[in-house]
């Protein structure tokens, strides 16, 4: 696993290839397309929903099923406005912006070097003859809304910009009802909203996105140990799910990058097509959040250890990941093009656990009882693992379609099946085919799904 930047600065798949595949195969569409689209907003199609569900399912598995020190929560998107005062988001969650009075565009002051003015020929903002830039002003990234029928300042609220605060404000409830004591974690998956100025790179940075965050509460003197623990665990999660280790790195934040709440943060970065970029942050938030919410709410947010008689505010380690960013990384890492028998084959080499469909059941031709037999096989599999039945078009085309969706196994019912009760099992990655009995097929595939898997693209 790389701890340093490698010489490579670009991954092999281009973003255009990935966007085209996602559209072509029904993973992700630009939102509101029939109205011309809204910038940087996407809708997930059938296979996108299944893939994202698997990403979230694997996160829950690693947080809940495989551990006994974490509990789940699902907090509201609209919370008391004071939450965001206490958290520091009202005062400090902003980017410095400059406006151009001529073209009316707004730019992040710290990104001006890479921005383009709205007028032709394209120039950097401020370099065109008519550009008139304002001084930099702070622009808060939270989406504001009104709650209830009266639109005044008392009804003003925000869409949450992170899921984390919904966990802190429930600390006391969880402590009382979940029978936990530090060290323990509270995990949540849910939508967050940020009025990002610079969006882009497909689903990498959008204004509406989903986060997977876990706040791990521990005794203050154990914080560093747990920070190390969670950095290693989270790196392992990505590599266990097939991301090639050479495409990941762990980068500690410099002092000037740290958020207001953090004493130490490391980002897991992935080699996206636009270069290494943040996939997940793992922060040591200290006692900042519980102390702030105690101050603003007047509630005591601390832990009393009845054994030792000690009372303390736990420190918090936070692995904070994005569902959309992780999904993009899994797709980019899996995307592959190869030549097979003189023809190009595009294939998503997804970890079988993430693949939207695990097995495709295909009659070789749509006659001679094959579709009926294939339907029977499909019915016997679909309740056990994600399956798809497809009988339209040539078998070659159907294989190619499943390859692009990332389906790890294909089961073909042919003329001999009626005689030998066997099918041909095709492997997406090796293209190996073997004749296997229908009896025990589901068990065979479930056993394969449980096997360790490494990307065939791994170095």
Nearest-approach distance from CB 18 to ligand GAP, in angstroms: 16
Contact between 205 and ligand GAP (CB under 6 A)?
yes
In the set 99, 162, 333, 404, which binds ligand GAP (CB under 6 A)?
A: 162
Q: Which stretch binds ligand GAP (CB under 6 A): 87-95, 313-321, 333-341, 381-389?
A: 313-321
Show contacts with ligand GAP in window 210-229 (CB under 6 A): 211, 213
Contact between 324 and ligand GAP (CB under 6 A)?
yes
Contact between 164 and ligand GAP (CB under 6 A)?
yes
Contact between 206 and ligand GAP (CB under 6 A)?
yes
Q: Tokens standing for 413?
A: 């019912």
CA 332, 338, 344 angle in degrees (round to 5)?
110
Site string for ligand GAP, 230-269 (x = CB under 6 A): ----------------------------------------
Nearest CB to ligand GAP, comparing residues 218 and 279: 279
- Residue pair 269/251 in contact (Cβ under 8 Å)? The answer is yes
Q: Which stretch binds ligand GAP (CB under 6 A): 31-39, 122-130, 206-214, 384-392?
A: 206-214
Contact between 196 and ligand GAP (CB under 6 A)?
yes
Nearest-approach distance from CB 202 to ligand GAP, in angstroms: 10
Q: Which residue number places its CB atom closest to ligand GAP?
A: 322
Give the integer Cα–Cα distance in Å for 177 and 340.
58
Helix (H) or strand (E) run with residue 436 in it: strand 433-437
Phi, psi of 140, rounded to the nearest 5 degrees: -70, 135
Number of residues in contact with ligand GAP under rule CB under 6 A:
19
Compute the half-sphere exposure of residue 302: CA atoms within 13 Å on the CB side of its CA: 15
Give the integer Cα–Cα distance in Å for 381 and 359.
9
Nearest-approach distance from CB 85 to ligand GAP, in angstroms: 17
Q: Tokens standing for 364?
A: 């070789």
- Show the beta-strand stretches assigned E in 21-166: 28-30, 42-44, 70-72, 94-99, 106-108, 137-140, 144-146, 156-158
- Kindly give, in sequence order, each residue whose CB lies less than 8 Å from that of residue 8, ignoring residues fewer than 6 positions away: 271
Give the integer Cα–Cα distance in Å for 93 and 393.
53
Give the integer Cα–Cα distance in Å for 306 and 383.
48
Contact between 142 and ligand GAP (CB under 6 A)?
no
In the set 280, 287, 289, 390, which binds ligand GAP (CB under 6 A)?
A: 280
Q: Which stretch binds ligand GAP (CB under 6 A): 48-56, 110-118, 273-281, 351-359?
A: 273-281
Contact between 194 and ligand GAP (CB under 6 A)?
yes
The DSSP 8-state label assigned to residue 294 in this structure reads: H
Cβ density class 13-22: b for 16+ within 10 Å, e for less? bebeebbebb
In the set 131, 186, 320, 423, which binds ligand GAP (CB under 6 A)?
A: 320
Q: Which stretch binds ligand GAP (CB under 6 A): 28-36, 112-120, 315-323, 429-437?
A: 315-323
Residue length of the chain: 459
Residues that bind ligand GAP (CB under 6 A): 162, 164, 194, 196, 205-206, 209, 211, 213, 278-281, 318, 320-322, 324-325
């Amino acid at each position: 696993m790389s701890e340093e930047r490698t010489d490579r600065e670009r991954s092999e798949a281009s973003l255009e290839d990935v966007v085209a595949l996602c559209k072509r195969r029904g993973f992700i569409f630009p939102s509101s397309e029939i109205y011309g689209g809204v910038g940087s907003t996407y809708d997930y199609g059938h296979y996108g929903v299944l893939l994202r569900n698997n990403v979230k399912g694997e996160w829950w598995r690693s947080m809940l099923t495989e551990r006994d020190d974490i509990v789940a929560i699902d907090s509201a998107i609209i919370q008391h406005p004071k939450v965001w005062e206490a958290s520091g988001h009202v005062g400090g969650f902003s980017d410095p912006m400059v406006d151009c009075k001529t073209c009316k565009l707004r730019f992040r002051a710290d990104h001006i070097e890479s921005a383009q003015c709205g007028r032709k020929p394209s120039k950097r903002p401020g370099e065109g003859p008519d550009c008139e830039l304002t001084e930099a002003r702070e622009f808060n990234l939270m989406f504001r809304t009104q709650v209830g029928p009266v639109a005044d300042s008392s009804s003003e609220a925000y869409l949450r910009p992170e899921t984390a605060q919904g966990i802190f404000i429930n600390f006391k409830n969880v402590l009382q009802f979940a029978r936990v004591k530090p060290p323990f974690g509270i995990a949540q998956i849910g939508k967050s909203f940020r009025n990002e100025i610079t969006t882009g790179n497909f689903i990498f940075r959008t204004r509406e996105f989903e986060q997977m965050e876990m706040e791990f509460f521990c005794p203050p003197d154990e914080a560093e140990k747990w920070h190390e623990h969670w950095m290693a665990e989270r790196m392992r999660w990505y590599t266990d799910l097939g991301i090639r280790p050479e495409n990941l790195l762990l980068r500690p934040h410099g002092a000037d990058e740290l958020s207001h709440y953090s004493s130490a943060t490391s980002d897991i970065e992935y080699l996206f097509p636009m270069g290494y970029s943040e996939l997940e942050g793992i922060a040591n938030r200290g006692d900042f959040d519980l102390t702030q919410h105690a101050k603003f709410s007047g509630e005591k947010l601390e832990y009393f250890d009845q054994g030792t008689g000690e009372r303390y505010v736990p420190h918090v380690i936070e692995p904070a990941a994005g569902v959309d960013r992780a999904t993009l990384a899994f797709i980019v890492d899996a995307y592959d093009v190869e030549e097979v028998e003189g023809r190009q084959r595009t294939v998503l080499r997804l970890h079988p656990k993430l693949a939207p469909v695990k097995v495709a059941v295909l009659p070789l031709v749509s006659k001679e009882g094959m579709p009926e037999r294939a339907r029977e096989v499909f019915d016997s599999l679909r309740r056990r693992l994600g399956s798809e039945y497809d009988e339209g078009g040539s078998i070659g085309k159907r294989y190619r379609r499943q390859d692009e969706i990332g389906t790890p196994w294909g089961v073909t019912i042919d003329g001999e099946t009626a005689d030998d009760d066997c099918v041909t099992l095709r492997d997406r990655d090796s293209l190996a085919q073997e004749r296997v009995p229908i009896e025990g097929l589901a068990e065979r595939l479930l056993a394969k799904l449980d096997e360790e898997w490494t990307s065939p693209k791994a170095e």
